[in-house]
């Protein structure tokens, strides 16, 4: 019997599944909640760490243009997400969209990509949070150089990163108690984070020297000695290997190489789509939440990168903790404490949102029985997927607390870009297959914009390192083994089982 890996799950079936009582989520989120949710995860590790690193190593003051290029890429993908989310307001985001438009194997690929993105990103960002907690505590208590409040073995970079583990466990418990309750905490932390970002912009303006922006696009040169991008063929971009080009930085190419890196700073707007089932009016509120959060964050990113590169010459920017050290370099070291506090608040919201997004993606896959269906049960009181929440919290806590994940940050980008490509293609396919569906939001200039979105995402993927591509291929190979060993044979679309039927028999 031939394999039918392109079987699709109808829109009507997805919507019906969302109404089964034992698997139904509570609808509590407004457009404001969704916008805050998006800002909460977008503004985080990227703005606090990537701005200085990319300016120093790759793009110079033109890092501003890198942010703009990445924003254009995300804006095109965001419109595709918005159309899908308004048309199919069901948990799972890109996974659910691909199942309806492209078929099961593509849905699995996207779901597996999103697991990579959110699990790993939550762990990586939690480690960044732990590092900033150490900086904040040391600065706030006036510790002398080389002395720290937290024991080295039990803090960031130690044998066991205890702050990372505690953060994920606390946020995981908050997530299980309820999405609305989580977002109330998120709202307070996002407000604090936005205050700190605006503080950096306003306070930094008086230290800006326009001469530091010249040349705005530095001439092409060899990569700085302290960056790994020019180390070996494995650490250089795949595009560089394919074209046999020598490792270089800055110039026009540096803008796009920088865009592939600062893309990490925008990851999050797509996670808004994972909460579709919990929105009060998803057909109106989801497009607002996705696009509004992206626009607000783009403006803030551009402003921060202009201020930082205006305060300090790009070749003197400290690649790590650029925002705090920029003020220290202009004689305002006391501001480091304030900025570290903002980073702690900012990264807390990112971890919380990533945990929620990861749970909702696996929840959708479990409800389709591509992973065991028993994991998708929701708590009778909290109406959240509590079993999945516990498992994901424990896994992320262990990965973040025991593993040096830093070298894998680019894998978050490649997984997300691959998902964006498939969503961009899927929105075209669904327009052709189901023109009858009501669409509260439509991507304009169809099919030009989705095609452009896919091409830009693919180009940015080519600017990621060869090592990242190899790790990504290994991850996908593992995913295919799981799919053909379990998911294909147990899929509800393939077996014809319903959620109601499955409730009466164990897996």
Token digits for 198?
Answer: 């605006």
Q: Annotate 477-500 with b (16+ C-beta within 10 A) or e (fewer).
A: eebeeebeeebbebbbbbeeeebe
The C-alpha torsion from 387 through 389 and 395 to 400, rounded to 10°, is -160
Q: Write out the two tokens for 471.
A: 């790790």
d(CA 315, CA 309): 9
Averaged confidence pLDDT in the chain: 82
Per-residue pLDDT, 371 = 92
The pLDDT confidence band at residue 72, using thresholds 50, 70 and 90, is confident
Q: What pLDDT score was predicted for residue 500?
A: 57
Range 340-350 average pLDDT: 78
Nearest alpha-carbon partner for 376 in 368, 467, 384, 367: 367
> Under 8 Å CB-to-CB from 495, ≥6 apart: which residues?
369
Mean pLDDT of 207-231: 76
E strands, 199-358, are none
Q: What's the pLDDT score for residue 420?
A: 87
Read off the tokens for 112.
Answer: 């597996």
% of residues, the chain, pLDDT over 70? 88
Average pLDDT rounded to a whole number, residues 466-473: 87
248: confidence class by pLDDT, cuts 50, 70, 90: low
Give me the mean pLDDT over the 318-346 stretch. 74
- Confidence band, pLDDT 50/70/90 cuts, at residue 230: very low
Residue 499: C-alpha distances to residues 4, 7, 160 (Å): 22, 18, 42
Name the pLDDT band for 166 (thresholds 50, 70, 90).
Answer: very high
Radius of gyration of the chain from Cα atoms?
22
Per-residue pLDDT tens over the stretch 450-469: 999 999 889 888 878 888 89
Residue pLDDT, tens place only, 20-62: 777 777 777 888 888 887 887 788 766 766 787 788 888 889 9
Those residues whose C-beta lies under 8 Å from the C-beta of residue 219, and which sit 6 or more positions away, are: 250, 251
> What's the pLDDT score for residue 502?
46
Q: What percent of the chain has pLDDT over 90?
A: 20
Residues near 166 by beta carbon (within 8 Å), at least 6 away in sequence:
none
pLDDT (tens digit per residue) in 4-29: 888 998 888 888 887 777 777 777 78
Phi-psi region of 60 (alpha: psi -120 to 50; beta: other; left: phi over 0): left
Q: Which residue do the tokens 């699709």 mark?
A: 8
Residue 249, beta-bridge partner list: 221
- Give the span between the Cα atoms of 310 and 62, in whole angstroms: 11
Asked if the model's pLDDT at residue 394 lies above 90, the reply is: yes
Residue for token pair 């942010």: 67
Average pLDDT over residues 433-450: 88
Quick one: pLDDT band at residue 416, thresholds 50, 70, 90? confident
Query: Distance between CA 268 and CA 119 in Å, rounded?
Result: 13
pLDDT computed for residue 339 by the predictor: 77
Domains of the chain: 32-502 (1.20.1740.10)
Rounded Cα gap, residues 245 and 257, in angstroms = 14
Q: Span 367-387, mean pLDDT?
A: 85
Structure tokens at 403: 């593993």
Closest CA to 93 of 142, 38, 39: 38
**Averaging pLDDT over each range in 2-16, 163-177, 342-356, which range is the top one?**
163-177
Which pLDDT value is given to residue 45? 62
CA–CA distance, 310 with 307 (Å, rounded to integer):
5
Chain segment 97-134, per-residue pLDDT in tens: 889 888 999 999 989 988 888 888 888 888 878 887 88
The residue to which tokens 């990509």 are assigned: 113
């Amino acid at each position: 019997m031939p394999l039918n890996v392109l079987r699709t799950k109808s829109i009507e079936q997805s919507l019906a599944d969302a109404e089964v009582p034992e698997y139904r989520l509570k609808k509590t989120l407004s457009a404001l909640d969704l916008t805050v949710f998006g800002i909460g995860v977008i503004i985080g590790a990227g703005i606090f760490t990537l701005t200085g690193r990319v300016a120093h190593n790759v793009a110079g003051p033109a890092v501003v243009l890198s942010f703009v290029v990445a924003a254009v890429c995300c804006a095109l993908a965001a419109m595709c997400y918005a159309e899908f989310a308004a048309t199919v307001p069901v948990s799972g985001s890109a996974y659910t969209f691909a199942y309806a438009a492209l078929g099961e194997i593509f849905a699995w690929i996207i779901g597996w990509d999103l697991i990579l993105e959110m699990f790993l990103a939550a762990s990586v960002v939690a480690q960044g949070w732990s590092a900033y907690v150490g900086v904040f505590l040391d600065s706030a208590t006036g510790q002398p150089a080389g002395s720290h409040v937290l024991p080295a073995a039990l803090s960031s970079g130690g044998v066991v990163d205890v702050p990372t583990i505690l953060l994920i466990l606390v946020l995981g418990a908050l997530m299980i108690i309820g999405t609305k309750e989580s977002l109330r905490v998120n709202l307070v932390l996002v407000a604090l984070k936005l205050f700190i970002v605006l503080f950096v912009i306003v306070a930094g303006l008086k230290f800006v020297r326009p001469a530091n922006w010249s040349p705005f696009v530095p001439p092409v040169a060899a990569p700085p000695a302290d960056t790994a991008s020019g180390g070996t063929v494995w650490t250089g971009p795949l595009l560089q290997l394919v074209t046999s080009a020598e490792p270089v930085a800055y110039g026009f190419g540096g803008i796009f190489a920088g865009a592939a890196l600062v893309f990490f700073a925008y990851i999050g707007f797509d996670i808004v789509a994972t909460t579709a089932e919990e929105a009060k009016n998803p057909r109106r509120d989801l497009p607002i939440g996705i696009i509004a959060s992206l626009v607000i964050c783009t403006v803030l990113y551009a402003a921060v990168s202009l201020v930082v590169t205006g305060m300090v010459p790009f070749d003197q920017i400290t690649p790590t903790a650029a925002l705090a050290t920029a003020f220290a370099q202009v004689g305002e070291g006391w501001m480091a404490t304030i900025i570290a506090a903002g980073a702690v608040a900012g990264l807390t919201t990112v971890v919380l949102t990533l945990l929620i997004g990861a749970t909702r993606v696996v929840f959708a896959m479990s409800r389709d029985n591509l992973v065991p269906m028993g994991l998708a049960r929701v708590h009778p009181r909290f109406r959240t997927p509590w079993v999945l929440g516990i498992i994901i919290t424990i896994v992320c806590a262990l990965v973040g607390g025991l593993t040096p994940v830093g070298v894998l940050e680019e894998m978050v980008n490649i997984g997300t870009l691959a998902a964006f490509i498939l969503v961009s293609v899927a929105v075209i396919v669904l327009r052709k297959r189901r023109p009858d569906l009501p669409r509260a939001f439509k991507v304009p200039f169809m099919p030009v914009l989705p095609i452009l979105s896919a091409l830009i995402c693919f180009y940015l993927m080519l600017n990621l390192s060869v090592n990242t591509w190899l790790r990504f291929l290994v991850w996908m190979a593992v995913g295919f083994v799981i799919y053909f060993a379990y998911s294909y044979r147990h899929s509800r679309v393939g077996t014809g089982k319903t959620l109601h039927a499955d409730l009466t028999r164990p897996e």
